[in-house]
Chains A and B, each alone.
Chain A
Amino acid sequence: MTGLPEGIERRAFDGRERLSTCGQPVYGEPTDGEWRCWDAGRSKLGAMLETGMDVDLSGGESVLYLGAASGTTVSHVADFAGPTYAVEFAPRPVRDLIDVAEDRPNLFPLLKDARKPETYAHIVETDLDLLVQDVATRGQAAVAVDNAQFLADEGQLCLAVKARSEDVTADPETVFEQVREEIAAAYEIVDTRRLEPYHGDHLGIVARKR
């Protein structure tokens, strides 16, 4: 298992070792001084780190985050990363995302559709280090492939695939296999793992841009 980057630490909360980052509290999470607990049950990226997936982070990365929702996970990402572009499609959660961004000068909230990268390519820069994707829409693999243009060569993808968003009736393993095949068009897969017990029917994928 890889070490945690600068800016993420395991600390004891309620008697358990849990992930945490340094920053302004956002959603009533437990804190230890400046450190805020990163709840893997509410964050797919948190679950990917907690289950020991091969995520290579060193702190200070430039990030594009697709499916930022209310900013629960993205707040932790902005705590340890550099410039962080947060894309979310639904207006209601963006209301909360803006409050999260206000305290974080390196976080840029965008009300855009991750399936249409051309609508934010005039804002989001190239050569990013990390693409985090957690969108609950059909065609999750296509979104990851279309957005590879923002990544630097060898740039990293952390993708949480929600089987139910592709097809509620299909067996999750069949869906995951299809996604693995499709993203191979733009990425080389480094590690995949189911995100149980934190998130049911989700697959975590870590990959590098070809």
Chain B
Amino acid sequence: MTEHATERGWFAGLDPGSADGAREAIDEGSAVEPADWPQRAVEAGFADSVDDYYELLHEATVTATRATVVDREQADDKQLLHAVRAMDDADRTANELAERLAEWAGTLFDDVGTGVEAARQLSDREPATPLESRVISLAERVDDLATEADELRSFIEQQAPEVAPNLSEMAGPVLAARLISLAGGLEALAKKPSGTVQVLGAEDALFAHLAGRGSSPKHGIIYTHEYVSGTRPEDRGSASRAFAGKLSIAARIDHYSGERRPEIHAQLDDRMSTIRARADEDASEGGHQ
């Protein structure tokens, strides 16, 4: 062999004149340093000419990269991310349309309320005029959208525990999906420090703080969990710090091992009761005075 033997291009071992089977080489291959691959490919008989090589390279990179993108995007955590974003969009749109509907329907009927529930009731009516049928048809869309949001929620509730068992048990499936969505995937979430997990969803406040405006946010989206919102305000900082710490451990276990670990859930429950006990202590001290 020549001195080329130490470094092999992506085309090594492939059939001459064909880019079939190149995906693994393109995805998994590596080299310590680059070389004049077009020239080497011609010397090795893989391509007839440099132009021919570029044609094969184009075909191979487009095919391999497309297949890898499909695989990466269909990973279950990415599906969860789309589902939770779609649920929020459907919810928000249903509410917006319901508001518009209430404005409009109020001019035609004298007994309509506001909100999605009112739209659902409206959609059961029989229209008497072409104008009424437009309004009632809009009410049906609101009903459909709200139903879609509900179905997406049940899909998430069923799917999240499969993708991230520990995180879903600790945070609840919907908050788990939201954290994955905010981080951009389970792996990304697993690699974030818990201080970042603590303020995910509070980016505006965080960057305002870093730029010198305002105090640092104590919690982001994890506020929606009872552990944080159900703790009295002066202890919420401790509660969200403890909660975020265990959440990021849960995300790491889910990403790297995937097994359920009951003990971390017990540890968090312990810590939470300690934090909440402070409120009772303060209350009893207050009683003595």
Contacts and interface: CB of A to CB of B under 8 A. Distances in A.
Interface string A64-103: 0000000000000000000100000001101100100110
Nearest to B61: A108
B69 A98 contact: yes
A122 B9 contact: yes
A182 to B, nearest CB: 21
A107 interface: yes
A94 B67 CA distance: 11
Interface string B36-74: 111000000000000000110110011001101100110
Interface in B1-43: 7-10, 25-26, 29-38
A125 B37 contact: yes
Interface string B177-213: 0000000000000000000000000000001001100
Interface of B: 7-10, 25-26, 29-38, 54-55, 57-58, 61-62, 65-66, 68-69, 72-73, 207, 210-211
A109 B34 contact: no
Most B C-beta atoms less than 10 A away, residue of A109, A111, A117, A123: A123
A150 interface: yes
B156 to A, nearest CB: 20
A134 to B, nearest CB: 19
Complex A-B, nearest 7 residue pairs according to Cβ-Cβ distance, in ascending order: A122-B31, A121-B31, A91-B72, A108-B61, A121-B34, A122-B29, A126-B34
Contacts, number: 85
Given A121-B31, A121-B33, A121-B34, A106 B58 contact: yes
Interface in A140-164: 149-150
Nearest to A62: B38
Nearest to A86: B61
Contacts of B33: 121, 126, 149
A109 B61 contact: yes
Contacts of A105: 54-55, 58
A98 B38 CA distance: 22
A165 interface: no
A121 B62 contact: no
Nearest to B22: A123
A125 B38 contact: yes
Nearest to B51: A105
Contacts of B61: 101, 108-110, 123
Contact of B54 (A91, A92, A106, A122): A106
A174 interface: no
A193 B158 CA distance: 53
A127 B61 CA distance: 20
Nearest to B57: A108
A128 to B, nearest CB: 9
18 contacts: A98-B65, A98-B69, A105-B54, A108-B61, A108-B62, A109-B65, A111-B68, A118-B31, A121-B32, A121-B33, A122-B30, A123-B26, A123-B29, A124-B34, A126-B33, A126-B34, A168-B207, A168-B211
B179 to A, nearest CB: 19
B99 to A, nearest CB: 32
